[in-house]
Structure 1
């Protein structure tokens, strides 16, 4: 992973990410996908399913295929400056990206759900748009599955990219009757890992993670089940996390709310308040122990 020091003064692009959870033999697990090495954004890194908000995510037909009123989604997202359509479209984007990148479809079918899922996957592989897939299958998007968790806004100096995003992170309990799988296009590998296991693999150099994933996984080590993580997310407004990078003795440091160098003194996340880029990776002062809580 190379460090970017250039200022990116373009506005951040709206995006949505789904942190998919399940309970496994080793405790709560999270789905991670390895981005294609050729990708312009975090190529080769393990990420949560997600991507940019598309104009089509606000299509009126899609917004009519939601299982909750737009007012309710707007309230749950907790962003007063967004209109209802825009707030709802972020839920749509999260559900679309989950389907496109991991084959997991959070939707209700009017008829046989197994057949509907198989048909939807086949139609997507044939090039139909997400809107067309939902229309042909008469599917209703299951927004109840998503719980807003956090909001990450890329700083002017992105550190690990040359693009900026305003990404809403949602938690979701993975459906027990579906199998998640990478698409072999945008993502080339997939794995269900306990958050502590994922951070340990990162520390050992076996997988690559970007700072938002590192901090999010560190946060998830505080929960022993998917239900407890989602209950915690429901109990509070999603924190806004705007990392603030600086260079110290030739080392890139990214600090987070609550750090003595950050403009916000109140913590937004548990875990470390800053990461240092050493040994070609981001690590806190306290090493792996601090990441694992």
Structure 2
């Protein structure tokens, strides 16, 4: 299923949201793998695309008190590099990232050490009975591990969103897959949850086997340059989260989206390793100037 390009401006403020790149070391020579889920084709946002788990921050996320976490709101705000955020939204972003990952993929990223599989099963049953994630999490104990989430980047949808009719202010986190937990995708929202190397995901997109939205393409490209979980964590620990405000425009009837470091972007400094600073919508998908090799640095 190809994306449809939107050319209408959206004047509402972007919705606070969070997404998580869950990573692990693959078996054998696989190297770094990242968890992706394929959204149902009829989903209102990015239907049919392979995405990282995530979603909007809700009121209950923002109501999770500071005492619940292993880190203060101040420490989390500093990690996000957003000094003006209030405590509720700061911790709400972490809560949303953790909640969405569990609801969509069945992984509990923030659980205290020693949580057993039966506790995860009890959480899932509680959610199926109508409980909110915050209520279900109370069964596994405290403190919740905000430290399991490392801020990675911040993507703000432009006023002309290109692929949707909504705007989002999304904080990307990276997290290591919890040992001993198995993925279980939410059948209401997705048709699969799959572990892919960044290179394999980009190759499958290039070959037309899967659809990837621009933030996923650029994030996977970044991950492909790093290649291992320790390298990803080291990058995240040594760099403040980049603010990515894509600039869309049309050239000869084709939609182009450029990023920091591109000659047509306001910010001259590139935000990640590699030379790719723009994507073009062509034949139903977004492709990089320079092709697949530009995304993979080969």
Q: Which TM-score tier does this pair reach, normalised by the shorter chain?
A: over 0.9
How far apart, CA to CA, are the structure 1 residues paired with 2:147 and 2:207? 37
Q: Structure 2 stretches of 5 or more lacking a match?
A: none
Pair 1:7-2:4 in alignment: no
Cα deviations across residues 39-68 of structure 1 (Å, max 9, x unaligned)?
11000000000000111111144x432111
The alpha-carbon distance between structure 1 residues 286 and 32, as it changes in their structure 2 partners (threshold 3 A), is same
Is the deviation greater in 153-162 or in 65-74?
A: 65-74
1:87 equivalenced with 2:90 (yes/no)? yes
Which residue number corresponds to residue 135 of structure 1?
A: 138
The one of 269, 273, 277 aligned to 1:273: 277
In the TM superposition, structure 1's runs of 4+ consecutive aligned residues that sit over 4 Å from their partners are 109-112
Q: How far off is 1:73 after superposition?
A: 1.1
Structure 1 residue runs without a partner (length 5+):
none
Give how far 1:118 is off: 1.8
What is residue 253 of structure 2 aligned with on the other side? 250
Deviates more, 1:127-136 or 1:225-234: 127-136
Once the two structures are overlaid, the 10-residue window that deviates more, 150-159 or 123-132, is 123-132
Q: 1:40 aligns with which of 41, 44, 51?
A: 44
Which range moved further: 227-236 or 46-55? Answer: 227-236
Give yes or no for the alignment of 1:203 onto 2:191: no
RMSD of the TM alignment (CA)?
1.4
One of 173, 178, 203 as aligned partner of 1:170: 173
TM-score norm. by structure 2 comes to: 0.94
Deviations 1:214-237 (A, max 9, x none): 000011001121121011111011
Q: How does 1:1-293 map to 2 (within 5 A)?
A: 1-25=3-27, 26-61=30-65, 63-109=66-112, 113-271=116-274, 272-293=276-297
* Bigger Cα displacement from structure 2, 219-228 vs 135-144: 135-144
